[in-house]
């Protein structure tokens, strides 16, 4: 589809809804540090997600569960210092919003106040309704996240495609409509059938952002380490790698090690 792109100097939650209305797809990518966020922002990515996937790709944990609110705030404030255009959304980490709405609000306020982020993201539907309401009432924009919700990995047991059966698909549709009614500005749909993504996206006026949700989402998100090919052992069907940075980096680092060992680095020109 050819779309005339409007120029957005600064992306806001309103710009995203506007993009959906004009048929412009939304690009979203994760970033967790200053240097990467600077590149991602300059490349005109619309939304930067400081995802709790930092727990995996930055800290080396097997799941997203261990990352703390303080650690998310540290990542988010590094990203915020780099960004001039993108909307910066930060994940509320596991354990910072599930026990009660007041705790959820306190966590969201800490993220907004201490990092300077523009919005928060929470995983779940009906179960977290009161928390979403409370955060929205405080004037904090909320992005929803349905389908495969990695913070519930021990309940699911696997990272396979969600909502393949009618009952789970119907709950997902009801949750998405509920999140829109409450006032969420967008919803991530992770690893669900493409036909379901289409159904949900067509039934909402707020944009959906897919990861493993197929082409009918209003936007797409990937983890930056996956897109760049740094996580070379991870290859789900939905992932398109735009680089093989793992091999490129390994080669460069090996060359450096060799040069140091041989006494070739530094050369006469590289010293004072």
Which residues are at the interface with ligand KIV (CB under 6 A)?
30, 49, 51-53, 91, 188, 190, 211, 221, 223
Smallest gap from Cβ 149 to ligand KIV, in A, equals: 9
Q: Which is nearer to ligand KIV, 187 or 258 (CB)?
A: 187
Report the number of secondary-structure helices (H) and strands (E) in the chain.
11, 8
Q: Which is nearer to ligand KIV, 39 or 257 (CB)?
A: 39
Smallest gap from Cβ 97 to ligand KIV, in A, equals: 14
Catalytic-labelled residue, pool 24, 123, 180, 190:
190
Smallest gap from Cβ 23 to ligand KIV, in A, equals: 23
Q: What are phi and psi of 182, to 5 degrees?
A: -65, -30
Q: Which is nearer to ligand KIV, 217 or 221 (CB)?
A: 221
Q: Which is nearer to ligand KIV, 83 or 256 (CB)?
A: 83
| 3-state class (DSSP) for residue 110 | helix
Catalytic (active site) residue 190: yes
What's the longest Cα–Cα distance across the chain?
Answer: 70
Smallest gap from Cβ 90 to ligand KIV, in A, equals: 10
| Other beta carbons less than 10 A from residue 220's beta carbon | 19
Q: What separation in angstroms does the CA of 159 have from each of 28, 30, 128, 190?
A: 21, 19, 21, 10
Round to whole Å and give the CA distance between 137 and 145.
19
Catalytic residues: 190
């Amino acid at each position: 589809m050819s779309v005339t792109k409007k120029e957005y100097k600064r992306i806001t939650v309103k710009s995203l809804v506007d993009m959906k209305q004009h048929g412009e797809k939304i690009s979203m990518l994760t970033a967790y540090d200053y240097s990467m966020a600077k590149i991602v922002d300059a490349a005109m990515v619309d939304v930067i997600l400081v995802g709790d996937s930092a727990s995996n790709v930055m800290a080396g944990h097997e799941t997203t569960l261990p990352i703390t609110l303080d650690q998310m705030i540290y990542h988010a404030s590094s990203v915020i210092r780099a960004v001039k255009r993108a909307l910066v959304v930060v994940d509320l980490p596991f354990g910072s919003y599930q026990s009660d709405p007041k705790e959820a609000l306190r966590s969201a306020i800490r993220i907004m106040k201490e990092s300077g982020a523009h919005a928060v993201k929470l995983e779940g539907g009906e179960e977290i309704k009161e928390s979403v309401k409370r955060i929205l009432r405080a004037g904090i924009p909320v992005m929803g996240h349905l389908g495969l919700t990695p913070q519930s990995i021990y309940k699911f047991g696997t990272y396979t495609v969600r909502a393949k059966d009618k009952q789970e698909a119907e709950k997902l549709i009801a949750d998405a409509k509920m999140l829109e009614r409450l006032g969420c500005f967008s919803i991530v749909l992770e690893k669900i059938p493409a036909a379901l993504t289409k159904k949900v996206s067509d039934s909402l006026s707020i944009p959906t952002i897919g990861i493993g949700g197929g082409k009918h989402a209003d936007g797409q998100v990937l983890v930056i380490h996956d897109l760049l090919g740094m996580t070379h052992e991870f290859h789900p069907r939905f992932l398109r790698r735009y680089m093989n940075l793992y091999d490129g980096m390994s080669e460069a680092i090996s060359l450096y090690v060799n040069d140091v060992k041989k006494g070739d680095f530094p050369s006469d020109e590289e010293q004072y």
